[in-house]
């Protein structure tokens, strides 16, 4: 019966009936929905302790490696402009810094040196009393148990700023290997635990492994920067290490950011050449590469969260645009979740502190 045909009084009661029916229908729908929802993922998110119980990825100070820039001089603890909270250190102040790193539960440091002079072949790089060699001795004496890793590359030490020997504007591969081998041996002789070739020269791991073994350092490990991309995220580091190339760029040896299959090939080659650990660098824009390397290989995998990643977080946090602590821990967790075992990060000390609170 159409409502239009009803009288005024009948109209009221009819409307009430309709309302009641509608109400009943809504209630029973809600009940049905509740019954149908067998799966309620929110149950496990209700309490902080519950969330901890089901957490899949755990970040801890033991996952982190702290980068250290070492310079000649005395009493130097100079902050790097584009990397607030990161400093240049002279040797006399290194023991205290190394002790603090160890106290925070961080197992290792990676050293980058700024030499007194630069030349065509980067002579200070393999000088037994170069800045890095002295820094290794200083740290191993102060905190013997702290793992000392050294970056093995030429760019900080050469006047042209490239990662190899340059001839007619070209970066020579095989000639560079001899220099890198010499650098690695001098780091080992000074007491380095791990050498980390970062120049992306073909065959660098094999050249370094055989030189270390021949020189009586079979116990020194190699962490290879296996998949290192030609990235714009290295900008602040190049300022810190004064290592920007004076002509051209690094695309002739570092990887094209568009390639992931090639990263698997690079990692396979380095493992074949004797790398003990492999690295993907940068981290944040390459989480898919980290994941793929993790799935294809069983070697320990490191990821380098580089200077530009750090600088972006710092810059936004300084403006109050993001919460530095939460963003940092979220990013580091993401890098581990992607599959990294170890993270090289300029946030290592802060993160270790936050994680212990
Ligand atoms: C040297 C080297 C670089 C970084 C680590 N080792 C710079 C580069 O390749 O230009 C970058 C680290 C960072 O940006 O934090 N080859
Ligand atoms: Zn380099």
- Least trusted range by pLDDT, from 93-102, 156-165, 241-250, 314-323: 241-250
| Residues, beta carbon < 5 Å, ion ligand 2 | 153, 155, 163, 199
Compute the mean pLDDT over every residue in the chain, rounded to the nearest whole number. Answer: 93
User: Alpha-carbon distance 188 to 209, whole Å?
Assistant: 11
Q: Which of 185, 223, 209, 235 has its CA nearest to residue 82?
A: 235
What confidence tier does 1 reach under pLDDT thresholds 50, 70, 90?
very low
Which class is domain 61-356?
alpha beta
pTM equals 0.90
In the predicted structure, residue 28 carries a pLDDT above the cut 80? no
Please tell me the distance between residue 25's alpha carbon and the centre of ligand 2 in angstroms.
71
Please tell me the distance between residue 29's alpha carbon and the centre of ligand 1 in angstroms.
60
> Ligand 1: does its nearest atom lie under 6 Å from the Cβ of 237?
yes
User: Alpha-carbon distance 311 to 82, whole Å?
Assistant: 6
User: Alpha-carbon distance 195 to 199, whole Å?
Assistant: 12
User: Alpha-carbon distance 328 to 310, whole Å?
Assistant: 9
Nearest CA to ligand 1 atom 8: 234
In the predicted structure, residue 26 carries a pLDDT above the cut 50? yes
In the predicted structure, residue 34 carries a pLDDT above the cut 80? no
2: Cβ–Cβ under 8 A, 6 or more apart, which residues? none
- Domain layout of the chain by residue ranges: 61-356
36: Cβ–Cβ under 8 A, 6 or more apart, which residues? none
Assigned token pair, 331: 């990013």
- Which has more confidence, 31 or 51? 51
pLDDT digits (tens, 9 = 90+) for 70-86: 999 999 999 999 999 99
Give the ligand at the shortest distance from the Cα of 176: 2
> What average pLDDT does this structure show over 293-311?
98
- Cα dihedral 70, 73, 79, 85 sign: positive
pLDDT score at 41? 97
In the predicted structure, residue 12 carries a pLDDT above the cut 60? no
Please tell me the distance between residue 211's alpha carbon and the centre of ligand 2 in angstroms.
20
User: Alpha-carbon distance 338 to 56, whole Å?
Assistant: 12
Q: What percent of the chain has pLDDT over 70?
A: 90
What confidence tier does 35 reach under pLDDT thresholds 50, 70, 90?
confident
């Amino acid at each position: 019966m159409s409502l239009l045909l009803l009288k005024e009084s009948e109209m009221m009661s009819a409307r009430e009936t309709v309302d009641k029916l509608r109400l009943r229908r809504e209630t029973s729908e809600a009940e049905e929905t509740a019954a149908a929802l067998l799966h309620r993922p929110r149950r496990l998110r209700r309490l902080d302790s519950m969330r901890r119980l089901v957490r899949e990825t755990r970040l801890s100070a033991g996952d982190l490696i702290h980068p250290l820039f070492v310079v000649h001089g005395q009493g130097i603890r100079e902050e790097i402009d584009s990397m607030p909270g990161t400093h240049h250190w002279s040797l006399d102040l290194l023991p205290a810094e190394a002790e603090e790193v160890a106290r925070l539960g961080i197992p290792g440091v990676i050293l980058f040196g700024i030499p007194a002079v630069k030349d065509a072949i980067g002579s200070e790089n393999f000088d037994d009393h170069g800045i890095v060699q002295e820094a290794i001795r200083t740290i191993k004496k102060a905190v013997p148990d702290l793992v000392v890793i050294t970056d093995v590359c030429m760019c900080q030490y050469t006047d042209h700023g490239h990662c190899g020997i340059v001839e007619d504007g070209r970066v020579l591969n095989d000639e560079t290997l001899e220099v890198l081998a010499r650098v690695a041996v001098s780091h080992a002789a000074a007491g380095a635990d791990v050498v980390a070739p970062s120049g992306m020269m073909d065959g660098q791991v094999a050249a370094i492994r055989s030189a270390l073994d021949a020189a009586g350092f079979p116990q020194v490990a190699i962490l290879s920067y296996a998949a290192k991309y030609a990235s714009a995220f290295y900008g602040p580091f190049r300022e810190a290490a004064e290592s920007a190339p004076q002509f051209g760029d690094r695309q002739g040896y570092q990887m094209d950011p568009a390639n992931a299959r090639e990263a698997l090939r690079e990692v396979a080659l380095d493992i074949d050449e004797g790398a003990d650990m492999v690295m993907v660098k940068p981290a944040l824009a390459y989480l898919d590469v980290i994941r793929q390397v993790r799935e294809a290989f069983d070697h320990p995998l490191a990821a380098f969260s580089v200077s530009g990643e750090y600088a972006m977080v710092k810059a936004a946090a300084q403006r109050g645009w993001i919460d530095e602590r939460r963003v940092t821990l979220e990013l580091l967790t993401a890098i581990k979740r992607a599959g990294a075992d170890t993270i090289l990060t300029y946030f290592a000390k802060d993160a270790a502190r936050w994680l212990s609170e």
